[in-house]
Amino acid sequence: MNNPAQNITIKIAGEAGFGIKIAGATLGKVLSRMGYQMFDYTEYPSLIRGGHNTFEVTVGERVHHHTRPVHLLIALNQASVDLHQSELSFDAGVIYDSEKTKPGTGPWKLYPVPLSRITKDVGGSELMKNTVALGAALAVLGAPVEGLLAILREAFAKKKQTIIDQNVKAASSGYQFVRDTFPELFPHQVTRLGERRQMYVTGNEAVGLGAIAAGCRAYFAYPMTPSSSLLEFMAKKGPKVGMVVRQPEDEISVLNTAIGAGFMGIRSMVGTSGGGYSLMVEATGLAGITETPVVIYMGQRPGPATGLPTWSGQADLRFLMHAAQDEFPRLIVAPGDQEECFYLTAEAFNFAEKYQMPVFVLMDKNLAEGGKTVAPFDQSKIKIERGEWVSAEDIKKEGKYLRFKVTESGISPRVLPGTAGGIHETNSDEHDEYGYNIEDIPNRNAQMEKRMRKLERARAEIPPPNLYGPKDASLSLVSWGSTKGTILQALEELSNVSVNFIHFNYLWPFPTQDAVKMLQSAKQLMVVENNFTGQFDGLIRQYVGIVPQHHLRKYDGRPFWPHEIVDKVHEVIK
Amino acid sequence: MIPNPQLTNPLRAEDFNSEHFPTWCPGCGDFGIWASLKNALVKLNLPPHRVVLVFGIGCSGNFSSFVKGNVFHSLHGRALPAAIGAKLANHELDVIVIGGDGDGFAEGLNHFIQTVRSNINITYVVHDNHVYSLTVGQASPTSMKGFKGKAHPEGAFEYQLNPISLAITSGGTFVARGFAGDIPHLSDLIVQGVKHRGFSFIDVMQPCPTFNPELSYDWYRQRIYKLETTGYMPDNHFKAWEISQQPFDEKIPLGVFYREERDILEDHFPQLSRAPLVKHDLSKIDITSLLEEFM
């Protein structure tokens, strides 16, 4: 890269159904192995085929989030040129099919490559056009083609040799064509940075890995964007890691099944999005009153109803906080990036089991489907804490077992069903300490207060929010979940401005003592979130008693771009 | 089914009595089902701590506080999904699900059909009194056409659901009907159901003297007959369906309509072949090779 501080963004665009995402992921893996950091972003309409798909990846030495403008556009059809011209930098390059596509008019460096003809020449199908284009892109970027060839060989290892040969030839031909035809150096070069041991994962893959590392034994889900790729990942890995993965008839069944499994003593998890979660609301209360641990992955997308199925948002926080009738303890954790997806999912199981309550992993489409390079996950940092249990011997000593024993902590030790002496009733009705239906006042109050005490204990265990940037600043940005990367990226451009960033992973119970201290000591607050009403902003008003001075909100289904944050900060601090 | 070697004294039906005597109305068919379940567990030699009893919501759901076992009292209509989760987590324990007709055939109908399809190795006993009784008298899917419920003063309009035919059509592998007024027969059906490898469904004709007095014990006794006394063999899908279609207000066959051995849901998961999930050792998880895939 000619200017190491400058990250570059590469965009691949084309018709849905033509492997845009796979091409993007392949390019990402090539660059990851060259030692670059990356963050990718995919846009696709809610169609099976025929729509317009894009994949873009920002590459550099230090990347928190994808950025615009686009420096290299790989346009696999005419629409790609027409739609994305306005996103290009003045010195951008455009790779397009010289025989099928008309380039736009602009200051860009044009790379007409006969993509279809080369594909035909190597005997490949039209689908292989991507591979030719990837070879061409690496040549434009000044990167070696060998990395791509190695990944193609790995990806098609189980296919026939002719398929491998065709792909390798397609990539090499695209690469060679550019090298032979365009000798002039493209201003954005991607040379090898050197060895860096890193992973390139999506948020959903990181969540899945976290669940597996935490000993999740059962995953239930009904397909719904953006959680479907997690279901696919779990289904693929389940038999190898000893986890049962099942797609029941609907989301109602999904959560009730997971609760049945949790009652029986295993770690279980479900995944869905807002519409599917709407069907799980009833069972969330069941987990609450029966004090059954369960981890609920909730991938937000804009709604209501079907809404914008393949886009992103952060408007379901209040929904999760209040879902199901009456009050019961629950915990909401929102990872901010792919690394946090791994560690916090594992932590979610610990909270669920220690406090015997539903724990939400609150995600969104951008984080779920976005890929990022991360330091390899460290499994040794994951501790499996299964909470309090009693054995047959304990019960024998005690002389009896009370599943819902009123304790000071609110936590009543569990028993594995099947244990001698451990019979009880796990009851969706209000119940006594054994579990029998009972409706009298002292018992109701004792059980209600016992359950709610667990929330206070959990609150005391929640780690503080993360502070990024200087301790003292005239403006503190506040956000939660996936806006973390955007804001960190923006801070890189705001090094001359007195601004810092408080990022929340744990959203409920709210607030913790640390959170109150941090928010109260800030001079001015600006809350950044992907919703209309300022759901987290409202929590700060309601529970901390501070009215944040500024906010930045967006609800169009698209992520915040770092430059939007930068502009707003400059507007506030003149 | 796991025999219980530690058991020195023979089990008695009273061993399953909880500290609460049932609050059902005098003459309620639920008493007969309660007695039959306890008898069946004694015959199966399953002590309370070796059986998982999952309940729905309704008069049948209140059963949950009147019996000893590993009891899970779930939500209205959701007993089957909860039971599937419990069974998958520990398939060494026997799981019996107890629900009602509103619970299983209205709120939970989708779960019923899908669970029949799955053929998971659990037993489902439905208290079918053809009325909603805990909510004091509305029509249920199995109410007879014209039944005057509190929400149907002009009489129920919809076609009466036939759970036996539905289970046969959905791929049921053990489909039976019992009568709450014949405890020995119903006890035996439950024993057969638990022993069956697969999903066993027992629809129990349950008189409700309070909210459906027309369908009294006598009303049933005038119509019921036992399939096994007619030389009927429950091995033919089509014959089973045909006999299940007899007009309800004329003839009510009892016994096993259909029985078949087929793969169960648990067979589908190699994860379950060595040990139940609940016995997996979580301290030995190593994800190193999984992480390598992303490098």
Whether A417 sits inside 8 A of B82 (CB atoms) is no
Q: How far apart are CA B245 and CA A39, in angstroms?
A: 62
CA distance B224 to chain A (A): 35
Q: Which of B98, B112, B295 to mutate to test the interface with A (most CBs of A within 10 A)?
A: B295
CA distance A553 to chain B (A): 34
Is pLDDT above 50 for A2?
no
Q: What is the pLDDT of residues A298-323, one digit of tens each?
A: 999 999 999 999 999 999 999 999 99
Query: Chain A partners of B46 at a C-beta cutoff of 8 Å?
Result: none
The verdict on B83 touching A (C-beta cutoff 8 Å) is yes
Query: Chain A partners of B111 at a C-beta cutoff of 8 Å?
Result: 249, 252-253
Whether A435 sits inside 8 A of B71 (CB atoms) is yes
Ordered DSSP codes for A94-159? EEEETTT----SSSPEEEEE-HHHHHHHTT--GGGHHHHHHHHHHHHHT--SHHHHHHHHHHTTTS
DSSP class of residue A88 equals E
Whether A262 sits inside 8 A of B85 (CB atoms) is yes
Q: How far apart are CA A552 and CA A526, in angstroms?
A: 7
Three-state helix/strand/coil letters over A313-376: CCCCHHHHHHCCCCCCCCEEECCCCHHHHHHHHHHHHHHHHHHCCEEEEEEEHHHHHCEEEECC
Q: What is the pLDDT of residue A48?
A: 66
Q: What is the pLDDT of residue B188?
A: 98
Query: Chain B partners of A254 at a C-beta cutoff of 8 Å?
Result: 81
Mean pLDDT of A78-87: 93
Whether A261 sits inside 8 A of B85 (CB atoms) is yes
Q: What is the pLDDT of residues A166-179, one digit of tens each?
A: 999 999 999 999 99
Tokens of A523: 């001079």
The verdict on B273 touching A (C-beta cutoff 8 Å) is no
Mean pLDDT of B8-37: 95
Q: A4 falls in which pLDDT band (50, 70, 90)?
A: very low
Q: How far apart are CA A528 and CA A566, in angstroms?
A: 12
CA distance B1 to chain A (A): 12
Which of B64, B72, B295 comes nearest A260 by C-beta?
B72
Whether A256 sits inside 8 A of B62 (CB atoms) is no
Interface of B with A in 100-119 (CB under 8 A): 110-111, 114
Counted residue by residue, chain A has a size of: 574
Question: Please, what is the average pLDDT of chain B?
Answer: 96
Contact A182, A110 (CB under 8 A): no
Mean pLDDT of A358-380: 97
Which of A258, A379, A426 comes nearest B73 by C-beta?
A426
Cis peptide before B22 (omega within 30 of 0): no
pTM: 0.96
CA distance A214 to chain B (A): 8
CA distance A186 to chain B (A): 28
Question: Please, what is the average pLDDT of chain A?
Answer: 95
Q: B8 falls in which pLDDT band (50, 70, 90)?
A: low
Q: Which of B109, B271, B281, B284 to mutate to test the interface with A (most CBs of A within 10 A)?
A: B271
Q: What is the pLDDT of residue B1?
A: 44
The verdict on B209 touching A (C-beta cutoff 8 Å) is no
Sign of the dihedral through C-alpha B64, B69, B74, B76: negative
Q: Which of B15, B66, B282 to mutate to test the interface with A (most CBs of A within 10 A)?
A: B282
Q: What is the pLDDT of residues A223-269, one digit of tens each?
A: 999 999 999 999 999 999 999 999 999 999 999 999 999 999 999 99
Q: Which residue has the tokens 């629950």?
A: A330
Q: A17 falls in which pLDDT band (50, 70, 90)?
A: confident
Contact A372, A58 (CB under 8 A): no
Is pLDDT above 60 for B202?
yes
Three-state helix/strand/coil letters over B227-241: HHHHCCCCCCHHHHH
DSSP class of residue B139 equals -
Whether B294 sits inside 8 A of A417 (CB atoms) is no
Angle at B146 between CA B142 and CA B147, to 5 degrees: 60
What residues contact residue A503 under an 8 Å CB cut-off, 6+ apart?
A336, A465, A466, A467, A468, A478, A479, A480, A484, A487
Q: In B191-208, which positions are buried (b, 16+ CB within 10 angstroms) versus exposed (e)?
A: bbbbebbbbbbbbbbbbb
* Ramachandran angles phi, psi of A372, nearest 5°: -150, 150
Q: How are beta strands B252-259 and B174-179 bridged, if at all? A: antiparallel
Q: How many CB pairs under 8 A join A and B?
A: 197
Cis peptide before A226 (omega within 30 of 0): yes
Whether B84 sits inside 8 A of A239 (CB atoms) is no
3-state secondary structure at position B258? strand
Contact A142, A190 (CB under 8 A): yes
Query: Chain A partners of B81 at a C-beta cutoff of 8 Å?
Result: 248, 252-254, 256-257, 260
A44 or B241: which carries more pLDDT confidence? B241
Q: What is the pLDDT of residues A436-463, one digit of tens each?
A: 999 999 999 999 999 999 999 999 999 9
Q: How far apart are CA A76 and CA A365, in angstroms?
A: 25
Q: Which residue of B has its CA nearest to A206?
A: B291
Query: Chain B partners of A263 at a C-beta cutoff of 8 Å?
Result: 72, 82, 85-86, 89
Mean pLDDT of B256-270: 97
Query: Chain A partners of B71 at a C-beta cutoff of 8 Å?
Result: 423-427, 435
Closest to B132 (Cα-Cα) out of B232, B197, B56: B56
CA distance B273 to chain A (A): 10
Q: What is the pLDDT of residues A321-345, one digit of tens each?
A: 999 999 999 999 999 999 999 999 9
Q: What is the pLDDT of residues A382-431, one digit of tens each?
A: 999 999 999 999 999 999 999 999 999 999 999 999 999 999 999 999 99
Q: How far apart are CA B232 and CA B230, in angstroms?
A: 5
What residues contact residue A115 under an 8 Å CB cut-off, 6+ apart?
A76, A96, A97, A100, A129, A132, A133, A136, A174
Whether A423 sits inside 8 A of B69 (CB atoms) is yes
Query: Chain A partners of B277 at a C-beta cutoff of 8 Å?
Result: 217-218, 242, 244, 261, 266
Q: Bin B119: left if φ > 0, else alpha if -120 < ψ < 50, else beta.
A: left
Whether A248 sits inside 8 A of B81 (CB atoms) is yes
DSSP class of residue A214 equals T
Domains and CATH numbers, chain A: 8-181 (3.40.920.10), 200-381 (3.40.50.970), 392-461 (no CATH), 466-572 (3.40.50.920)
Q: What is the pLDDT of residue A49?
A: 65
Q: How far apart are CA B271 and CA A243, in angstroms?
A: 6
Query: Chain A partners of B124 at a C-beta cutoff of 8 Å?
Result: none
Domains and CATH numbers, chain B: 13-294 (3.40.50.970)
Whether B57 sits inside 8 A of A428 (CB atoms) is yes
Which of A200, A213, A266 comes nearest B285 by C-beta?
A213
Whether B283 sits inside 8 A of A384 (CB atoms) is yes
Closest to A245 (Cα-Cα) out of A263, A229, A226, A269: A269
CB burial of residue B6 (10 Å; 0-12, 13-18, 19+)? exposed
Query: Chain A partners of B73 at a C-beta cutoff of 8 Å?
Result: 425-429, 435, 437
Whether A286 sits inside 8 A of B75 (CB atoms) is yes
How far, in Å, are A348, A429, B75, B120, B162 from residue B83 at the CA level? 24, 17, 12, 10, 23
Q: Which residue of B has its CA nearest to A438?
A: B65
Whether A290 sits inside 8 A of B285 (CB atoms) is no
Q: What is the pLDDT of residue B3?
A: 47
Q: How far apart are CA A418 and CA B91, in angstroms?
A: 11
Reported ipTM: the value is 0.97
